[in-house]
Structure 1
Amino acid sequence: MEELVPGIADTLLRHQSELHSVLTQVATARAATDEVFRSLRALAGAPWELERNAPRRLGRLAAFLPSNNLLYSYVLFGVIPSLYAEEVRIRPSARVAPAAMAVHEILAPPLRALGGGRIVMAPSSQREFLAECARCDAVVFTGRPDNGEAVAAHLSRDALLLTFGSGPNPVVIGPEADPDAVCRTVLDARLYNSGQDCLCPDIIFVHRSLARRVLPRLADALGGVRVGDRRDPGTRVAPLVYPDAVTDAAGFLARHHEFTIRGGRVDVARHLVEPTLLHLPWQDAFHPPELFSPIVLTMEYDDPRQIARWLHSAEESARGMYLSVLGEPALAGVPRIATSVICDERITFDVEDGNRPFGGYGPRAGSVRRNGKITGRPLLLSAEAGARPRP
């Protein structure tokens, strides 16, 4: 490993321009650059990760590659596991299969030449890949939790299954927050890759005392967001990659038209959703969908106990992932609330680390299944495959 990991990192660096060109088929240039550096950081941390977790040697691993973060996911679910698995079989998402295959074709040959594990990637039907999964020691699934249940039905009882879902990742802007700083922070998180990332916050809770200062700043900032070609380094919002994300955004904006402060237009033909700000009054029963678009959705609150109660609801307990707390001391200083992990004065992109467990404790946000038992918790494959399985 002493030579293998630096060799893979060197390969990535030497092919950085080529990889960046591939990634900008599905990501903005800014997000693609960030993804390259996150991938390098994960590779650099791989020896530490494996020494700490001591994963047992796996025969075969199957992984469903997500439709975004193609390089980063290939490193996390392909390259690093290949260091302790005889073979890794990857199914790319049909939506982005050509780009995913291009990443594989750039990195797999050098990996083999360096003596790394075998990684096999090929487009295949769900049925064909499920047959492959049935013969594997471990499976990584990224996608809708209900589809993860279908995968589990094809596995043996003792197979290890990790399902990575998503959560709303709320941000709380409390009364002690600096309005200018939190506006920059919120937009950095919400507009990452035009909003097409599971770590983007789907709802921003704003304390009533700051609403009149924060909302105009957000609206003005959104008005200055550069919209254009995703390959342009200056572009923050580009046409969305997935047609259903466009139609879902259009439907959501139409249903909440009266709450629109800025933007709100959708060009379905061009897959373009205008950077948009909506502001809702407090609603206990409101649970945002995964927006996957440049929609900034805020909701006003009076008391932090409202947010704690909301997080303990059945819906949010099931999909609890991260909660970013900015300037709200009543919610800070604890590791988690309900199933959501607290990011104190940080956003999700600040805390995400490819060599550490990812996510929260909501079973629909991420879960591990072993011997018929399902547990929602932050996930890291090497830790779950450790010589001593986590309790």
Structure 2
Amino acid sequence: MHAALTRVATAQAATDELFRSLRALSGAPWELLRNSPDRLGRLATFLPSNNLLYSYVLFGVIPSLYTDEVRIRPSARVAPAAMAVHEILGPQLRGLGGGRIIMAPTSQRDFLADCARSDAVVFTGQPDNGEAVAAHLPAGALLLTFGSGPNPLVVGPAADPEAACRTVLDARLYNSGQDCLSTDIVFVHRSLVREVVPRLAEALAGIRVGDRRDPGTRVAPLVYPDAVEDAARFLTAHREFVVHGGRVDVARHVVEPTLLHLPWQEAFHPPEFFSPVVCVMEYDDPRKIARWLNSPEETARGMYVSVFGEPAFAEAARIGTSVVCHERITFDAEDGNRPFGGYGPRAGSVRRNGTVTGRPLLLSAEAGSRAGS
């Protein structure tokens, strides 16, 4: 299984994914007892292109316990690796009492026909594409769309600079940055900028791009060519703010671990980098961050915001549509048996009977009799 996962993930990320998958499976009985999902006839799942095993568990194995048939379409980008996961794990599930799990790299058109005949659909990908899927579904079908958000990380004036730098790298470099939970912008209080930025630059200078199968590799060539091209365009446009790195080899799919330091720009809304790009923006007043998180752009895609050493947010559970993670990063907060994400409708939403609501998502909770009534 580890060999299958390292086709698209670093060895470190694959090991972490194995343990997260085991934890989710261990928590499945508790999850179903707590949520009492209704029995589903068919579930159609668009498998994401990363976290293949973990997604297979969350959107295939656990739902099969209350679904007669789960049909999974792997992303065309990583279909061979996804099929390998299914071929390894699928036979182990037979005879355990769950519904059938069928995975096939079918065309978009054929799979949309499967979706139209399903009681529930899980879509992972661009929100606009999720709208196209919704157009093919009957009104009563349950649609969960999992998008992405910038997941800002705040390094406040009371944070420890050394610990903050380790935290930033953990949040940004997971699987070379190819994860929707990775932070796309780091807000650093002005009082700590002179300590944090040089530390980050020094740490990134020590990271080399290596073979993703090597357990010591933290950053590897990227799996997605468009992520490489997007990073190249962004770094070219923001060259004046590059503190370290900045080189991109499109042919080898390599984005050098890179640090940018931007002054405060309230109109700046980072892209989803999906690459080892650390984007630091300094701030002097936490109210500016609150306004930024409450802007229309960020309330649409609010997932999580990690806060370290910022007293102004010590009691906050949400800022805008982003769920606050106090003194921990998104990867520490995420739990496969609990609702995932924030309240931004482009980050994650549930649709049923024409009503679309952005909120943290868990399929078993949305399939529960109270949620579906």
Q: Which TM bucket (shorter chain)?
A: over 0.9
Distance of aligned partners of 1:379 and 1:92 in 2 relative to their CA distance in 1, 3 Å threshold: same
Counterpart for residue 167 of structure 2 = 185
SS of residue paired to 1:113:
coil
TM-score, with structure 2 as normaliser: 0.99
Measure the CA separation in 1 of the matches of 2:280 and 2:106. Answer: 40
Q: Residue 90 of structure 1 contacts residue 119 of structure 1 at CA under 8 Å; is this kept in 2?
A: yes
Q: Residue 41 of structure 2 contacts residue 69 of structure 2 at CA under 8 Å; is this kept in 1?
A: yes
Instruction: State the Cα deviation string for residues 351-377 of structure 1 (Å, max 9, x = none).
Output: 000000000000000000011000000
Which of 159, 178, 194 lines up with 2:141 in the alignment? 159
Deviation at 1:256, TM superposition (A): 0.3
Matched, 1:372 2:354: yes
Counterpart for residue 272 of structure 1 = 254
Measure the CA separation in 2 of the matches of 1:255 and 1:74. Answer: 37
Counterpart for residue 124 of structure 1 = 106
Which of 30, 34, 57 lines up with 1:52 in the alignment? 34
Deviation at 1:332, TM superposition (A): 2.2
Matched, 1:92 2:77: no
Measure the CA separation in 2 of the matches of 1:157 and 1:332. Answer: 42
Counterpart for residue 10 of structure 2 = 28
Q: Residue 250 of structure 1 contacts residue 266 of structure 1 at CA under 8 Å; is this kept in 2?
A: yes
Counterpart for residue 292 of structure 2 = 310
Instruction: State the Cα deviation string for residues 65-106 of structure 1 (Å, max 9, x = none).
Output: 000000000000000000000000000000000000010011
Which of 189, 192, 206 lines up with 1:210 in the alignment? 192
Measure the CA separation in 2 of the matches of 1:257 and 1:381. Answer: 42
Matched, 1:73 2:55: yes
Deviation at 1:260, TM superposition (A): 0.4
List alignment gaps of at least 5 residues for structure 1.
1-18
Deviation at 1:109, TM superposition (A): 1.2
Deviation at 1:215, TM superposition (A): 0.3
Instruction: State the Cα deviation string for residues 177-211 of structure 1 (Å, max 9, x = none).
Output: 00000000110110000000000000000000000
Q: How do 1:1-391 and structure 2 match up within 5 A?
A: 19-389=1-371
Instruction: State the Cα deviation string for residues 102-139 of structure 1 (Å, max 9, x = none).
Output: 10011111211333320000001111100000000000
Measure the CA separation in 1 of the matches of 2:288 and 2:101. Answer: 48
SS of residue paired to 2:187:
strand
Q: Residue 360 of structure 1 contacts residue 377 of structure 1 at CA under 8 Å; is this kept in 2?
A: yes
Deviation at 1:390, TM superposition (A): 7.0
Structure 1 segments of 4 or more deviating over 4 A? none
List alignment gaps of at least 5 residues for structure 2.
none
Q: Residue 66 of structure 2 contacts residue 98 of structure 2 at CA under 8 Å; is this kept in 1?
A: no
Structure 1 vs Structure 2 CA RMSD: 0.8
How many residues align? The count is: 373
Measure the CA separation in 2 of the matches of 1:332 and 1:316. Answer: 21
Measure the CA separation in 2 of the matches of 1:92 and 1:138. Answer: 17
Measure the CA separation in 2 of the matches of 1:57 and 1:334. Answer: 37
Q: State the identity as a percent.
A: 80
